[in-house]
Amino acid sequence: MPELIVMEKIDGSPVAWRCSDCRLKFSVRGKLTAQERYRQVTEEFEVHMKECRKAGEPARDMAFAAGVPLPE
């Protein structure tokens, strides 16, 4: 299952991720709360997964890497 893997943190909050399958980078910057960043990157990753399925790659569910805590 493809996962989002944290690549960069600022002040302890993730701001950049990559896809565990294709290594595509996802970056969410600006003055956003942790919840807003989480929502935005999740939406972008879902779009990425749908595009991968359309391109004929195997359909798999998305997930966040196990070591990444979800925002409260």
Q: How confident is the model at residue 55 (pLDDT cuts 50, 70, 90)?
A: confident
Looking at residue 61, its amino acid is D
42 lies in some domain: yes
pTM for the full model?
0.68
Sheet holding 25-27, edge to edge: 25-27, 13-19, 3-10, 63-64
71 lies in some domain: no
pLDDT tens, position by position, 17-51: 999 988 999 987 778 888 898 899 989 999 998 88
Looking at residue 13, its amino acid is S
70 lies in some domain: no
Look at 28 and 6; give whichever has higher pLDDT: 6
* Residue-range definition of the domain harbouring residue 26: 3-64
Tell me the CA distances in angstroms from 9 to 3, 16, 48, 53, one per residue in order. Answer: 17, 7, 22, 29
59 lies in some domain: yes
Q: What is the total count of domains within the chain? A: 1
Look at 63 and 21; give whichever has higher pLDDT: 21
